[in-house]
C-alpha cells in the first residue's frame, strides 16, 4: 500500500502536531505493507535522516498552505501515484485518489479570536469542503468527534477516533541528582517549579496562570516556567515586569524534546489550563514522566486523563491546586503514579495499527464501488 502522508509541518517547530505526524510516519513504516511518501519541505539534513530510514520524501516547490491545497497535493499524487493520501485538516481541493483527513481540534470554531486571520480564512474556505471530500475522518478524541458532528454534521460512520500518544523520548528519569544537574546546566533553574507547555497565547490562559501563581508563590521561592513560543510577550511584560525581573517567572521559548524531557521530570507539576484542545498532548507527556498534572476541567481532558489529574474550573481552584500539590507530598505521589499508569494506555504503535485498519477499510470500500 502506497501512502502519501501530509508532513508539511515537519521541521517547522509546530510542537505537538509535528511530533504527532513524525511518530505516525515512523510507526506506519514498521508495517511491511506500508510504503510511505512524505509530502514535506524538510531541510536537507532532515531529508537525509528520513531517507536513511527508508521513507521517501516528495518535496513541493512551495511551502504556501493555499498552494498545498489547490495544487501541491495533486501534483504529488500525479507524480507518486499513491493508493491514498492522508492529510492534516485540509484535503486537496479536487479529489484524485482516496482521502483520509485527521482533525486535531475545532478551537478555530470555538475560540476564533486566538487564531491568525490567515488561518481563519483557510478554515472558512476549505475545512467543510475537506470534510465532505474525505473518505474517512480521524478525530484525535471522542470530544473532537462530537464537535465534528455538532458543528459540521459529519456522518459519524466515517469518523474514527485514534488517540495520540507521548513521544518515546518522554520517560521517567530515576537519577534525581543528575536530573537537577542537567536542569541547572541547561536552564539555570535551581528551585522547585511549575511547568507550562505550549504556545503562550490567550487560549492557554497564561495571565490566569500567572495570577494564580503570584497568589501562591509569595515568599516560597518557587518558579513558573513556560515552554513555547510567547505570543503575548508585550502584554506580559507590561503587567508583570516586576515578577519577571525577580526571575520568578521564566519564558524559555522553544526547547528540544530532549531538553523538555528534563523539564517534565523536574517539574513539581504540569499546569495545562487551556480553554480548548483536541487532545492535550502535554498531559500524557508529563504523565509518562511521572509528573502530576493540573489541568482545566473541560470534557476532552476528562476523557484523556480520567481520574489521574487535578481538574480546575477557575483561577481560584487553580491557586488551590498549586498549593495542594506542593504542600501534600503524598497527594503529589498519588497523582504521579496514577498519571504514569494512565499514560500507558496511549501508544503510537496502537495509533499506527488503528490508522492502517482505516486505510484498508477505505481502500476496500473504494474497490467495492468500482
The pLDDT score that the predictor gives to residue 322 is 94
pLDDT digits (tens, 9 = 90+) for 261-307: 999 999 999 999 999 999 999 999 999 999 999 999 999 999 999 99
Mean pLDDT of 64-84: 95
Query: In this model, does residue 249 exceed pLDDT 60?
Result: yes
Domain 176-343 in CATH 3.40.50.2000? The answer is: yes
Enumerate the domain spans of the chain.
2-165+347-364, 176-343
What pLDDT, on the 0 to 100 scale, is given for residue 56? 85
Average pLDDT over residues 354-367: 94
57-61, 192-196, 227-231, range with the lowest pLDDT: 227-231
At residue 228, the pLDDT reads 86
Domain 2-165+347-364 adopts which CATH fold?
Answer: Rossmann fold (3.40.50)
Least confident piece of the model among 19-23, 223-227, 354-358: 19-23
**Position with higher pLDDT, 241 vs 337:** 337
Q: Quick check: 3 pLDDT over 70?
A: yes
User: What would the mean pLDDT of 17-30 be, rounded to a whole number?
Assistant: 88
pLDDT digits (tens, 9 = 90+) for 135-182: 999 999 999 999 999 999 999 999 999 999 999 999 999 998 999 999
- Does the fold of domain 176-343 match that of domain 2-165+347-364? yes
Q: What is the pTM of this model?
A: 0.92
Check residue 54 and give its pLDDT. Answer: 67
Would you say 89 and 104 are in contact if contact means Cβ atoms under 8 Å apart?
yes
Q: What is the pLDDT of residue 242?
A: 64
Using one digit for the tens of pLDDT, what is the confidence trace for 223-245? 999 998 877 777 777 776 666 65
Confidence of residue 19 (pLDDT cuts 50, 70, 90): confident
Amino acid at each position: 500500500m502506497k501512502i502519501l502522508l501530509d508532513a508539511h509541518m515537519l521541521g517547522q517547530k509546530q510542537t505537538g502536531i509535528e511530533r504527532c505526524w513524525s511518530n505516525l510516519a515512523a510507526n506506519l513504516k514498521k508495517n511491511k505493507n506500508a510504503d510511505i511518501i512524505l509530502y514535506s519541505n524538510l531541510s536537507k539534513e532532515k531529508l537525509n535522516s528520513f531517507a536513511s530510514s527508508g521513507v521517501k520524501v516528495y518535496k513541493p516547490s512551495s511551502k504556501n498552505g493555499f498552494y498545498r491545497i489547490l495544487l501541491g497535493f495533486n501534483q504529488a499524487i500525479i507524480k507518486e501515484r499513491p493508493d491514498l493520501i492522508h492529510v492534516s485538516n485540509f484535503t486537496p481541493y479536487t479529489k484524485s485518489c482516496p482521502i483520509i483527513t485527521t482533525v486535531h481540534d475545532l478551537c478555530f470554531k470555538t475560540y476564533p479570536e486566538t487564531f491568525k486571520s490567515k488561518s481563519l480564512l483557510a478554515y472558512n474556505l476549505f475545512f467543510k469542503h475537506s470534510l465532505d471530500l474525505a473518505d474517512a475522518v480521524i478525530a484525535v478524541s471522542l470530544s473532537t468527534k462530537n464537535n465534528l458532528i455538532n458543528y459540521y454534521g459529519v456522518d459519524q460512520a466515517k469518523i474514527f477516533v485514534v488517540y495520540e500518544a507521548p513521544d518515546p523520548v518522554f520517560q521517567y528519569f530515576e537519577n534525581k541528582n543528575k536530573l537537577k544537574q542537567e536542569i541547572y546546566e541547561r536552564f539555570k533553574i535551581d528551585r522547585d517549579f511549575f511547568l507550562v507547555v505550549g504556545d503562550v497565547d490567550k487560549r492557554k490562559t497564561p495571565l490566569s496562570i500567572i495570577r494564580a501563581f503570584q497568589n501562591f508563590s509569595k515568599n516560597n521561592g518557587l518558579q513558573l516556567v513556560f515552554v513555547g513560543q510567547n505570543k503575548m510577550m508585550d502584554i506580559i511584560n507590561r503587567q508583570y515586569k516586576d515578577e519577571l525581573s525577580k526571575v520568578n517567572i521564566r519564558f524559555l521559548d522553544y526547547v528540544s524534546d530532549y531538553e523538555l524531557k528534563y523539564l517534565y521530570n523536574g517539574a513539581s507539576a504540569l499546569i495545562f489550563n487551556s480553554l480548548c484542545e483536541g487532545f492535550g498532548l502535554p498531559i500524557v507527556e508529563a504523565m509518562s514522566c511521572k509528573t502530576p498534572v493540573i489541568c482545566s476541567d473541560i470534557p476532552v481532558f476528562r476523557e484523556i486523563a480520567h481520574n489521574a489529574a487535578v481538574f480546575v474550573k477557575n483561577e481560584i481552584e487553580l491557586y488551590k491546586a498549586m498549593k495542594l500539590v506542593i504542600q501534600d507530598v503524598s497527594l503529589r505521589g498519588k497523582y504521579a503514579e496514577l498519571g504514569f499508569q494512565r499514560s500507558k494506555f496511549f501508544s503510537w504503535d496502537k495509533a499506527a495499527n488503528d490508522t492502517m485498519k482505516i486505510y484498508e477499510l477505505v481502500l476496500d470500500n473504494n474497490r467495492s464501488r468500482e
